[in-house]
Structure 1
Amino acid sequence: MKPCLLLLTILISTLSFAQKNTEKKPLSIISDMTETLANQNIENYFYTNRTCLGETRIITLNDQKKCFTNGNFSEYYLFWQEDSTTYITKADNCGPFIKLKLSNNDLFDFFMENRQALENNSVKEYTVANPENAPTQRTKVYPCSHEFSFTTAMGTFTQKFKEFDVTNDSKQSNLNYEHNQQLKLIALDKMIDTVISETANKLRRQ
């Protein structure tokens, strides 16, 4: 038994060491990227962060090493324009990706045209008519949240919402469902979903 316990301890220690040394902080990576944009006099850009609580992944990197995430998995997507062309790049717990040119400027144009609405109108929480008598019962688990940071020449502002708040997935209807679905923020989020889907097989790790 003792050799087995020793082997198990070594294995756990090895995995923990690998996790500690391969997992990176995606926000720090994105901050470095936005600093580079600022140094290039690019004033308009935004990024979104999709974080899912309790999600552990093992990802194979370019050099075939393994990256072990630490329970919460975050993906940051950064968008900006250079010479009237929109670009996307990405960072997650396992490091940065190369930049990729988008086929059109629809996403970035929407951001610039609706900057004020994006700043002033937030997602409202899931609210029911009679929470005391019939508490909200989710039929699905929504462990993910979406965060946004928008930067223009006028400054930076942020938004955030939980995925559950923009659904109607409960025993009682969400009184704020229609409000949330009509927000420019949610329209932008859906456009981002499309872009992420279209570029998933093209974005490559650095």
Structure 2
Amino acid sequence: MKKSLLLFTCIFTAIGFAQNDEAFVDSLVAQKMAELELQQNPEYFYRKDYCDGNIQMFNLPDGKLCTSKSTYYSVYVFWSEDEDVMKLQKFDNCGSFMPISISRKKTIEKFFKDKQALKQGEIKPYEGEKVDENAYGNMTVNSCHKEYKFVFDGKSFEKSFREFDLTNESKYKNVNAEHNRSLPLVKLDILLSEMFKNMEDSGSLLREK
């Protein structure tokens, strides 16, 4: 066992190994947000995703290995480029990705027409239609979270929720699921999740070297 552990350690030492936590990701995002503030960008926001205890490992462009420390965090920062185009850049425990351009009209334009709706809509916690100590049965509840920060014309607000609050996966129906999924923020979130999945599948997201 000790020989295996020693070999494993030697391999990581030889090829290079990085392990970063949430503070590392937050510092990258804070730097980007500060840059956008200095540029007086009129519209920018980010979405932060994480599932408690989920660990990811990646091969980096320079040949090194990188793994998340404890939990993997991914943050997607959007900012306005002009009236028709927004930029998107991803950050995670292993660094930053190349910025890419997306069409406002084909993606998020309709959600930005009513910014107050994004701000005011409140996501309610999961509530079963009946009270039962065994309401969750044998299901596994993954503690996955979404955090948003929006900055519009110099004014900011933040929103957050658990993915579980949007579902109907327990023994009894979640009475708040329909309300939650009708909110503009959740509709935007669903659209972004689909967008990110398509980018991952197509290989559009490339790490910066």
**CA offset digits 1:66-106 (Å, max 9, x no partner):** 00211211110111111221111100110011110114434
Number of matched pairs = 201
In the alignment, does 2:35 pair up with 1:72?
no
Q: What residue identity is the alignment partner of 1:203?
A: L
- The equivalent of 1:39 in structure 2 is 38
Cα pair distance change 1:116/1:106, threshold 3 Å? farther
Q: 1:74 to 1:133 in 2, by over 3 A?
A: closer
Moved segments of 4+, more than 6 Å: none
The answer as to whether partners of 1:86 and 1:108 remain within 8 angstroms in 2 is: no
Structure-2 residue corresponding to 1:202 = 204
Q: Is the 8 A contact 1:147 1:158 kept in 2?
A: yes
Any gaps of 5 or more consecutive residues in structure 2? none
Which whole-Å CA distance do the structure 1 matches of 2:131 and 2:137 have between them?
10
Alpha-carbon shift at residue 164 of structure 1 (Å):
0.8
Instruction: State the 1:194 CA deviation.
Output: 2.2
Partner of 2:5: 8
Kept after mapping to 2: 8 A contact 1:87/1:99: yes
Q: Deviations over 1:176-206 (max 9, x none)?
A: 0111111111100011012212322112111
Describe the shift of the 1:132–1:95 C-alpha distance in structure 2 as closer, same or farther (beyond 3 A). Answer: same
Give the TM-score taking structure 1 as reference length: 0.86
Q: How do 1:118-157 residues align onto structure 2 when only pairs under 5 Å count?
A: 118-132=118-132, 134-137=134-137, 139-153=139-153, 155-157=155-157
How well do the aligned residues superpose, as a CA RMSD in angstroms?
2.4
Partner of 2:80 in structure 1?
81
Following the alignment from structure 1 to structure 2, what is the Cα–Cα distance between the partners of residues 117 and 41? 23
Distance 1:134 1:7 in 2: 43
- C-alpha separation between the residues in 2 aligned to 1:187 and 1:125? 17
What is the Cα deviation at residue 133 of structure 1?
5.2
Amino-acid identity (%): 27
Give the counterpart letter for 2:70 in structure 1. G
Sort the Cα spacing of 1:13 and 1:132 in 2 relative to 1 into closer, same or farther, 3 A.
farther
CA contact (8 A) 1:91 1:97 kept: yes
Contact 2:42/2:80 (<8 A) preserved? no
Q: Secondary structure at the match of 2:159?
A: strand
1:96 maps to 96
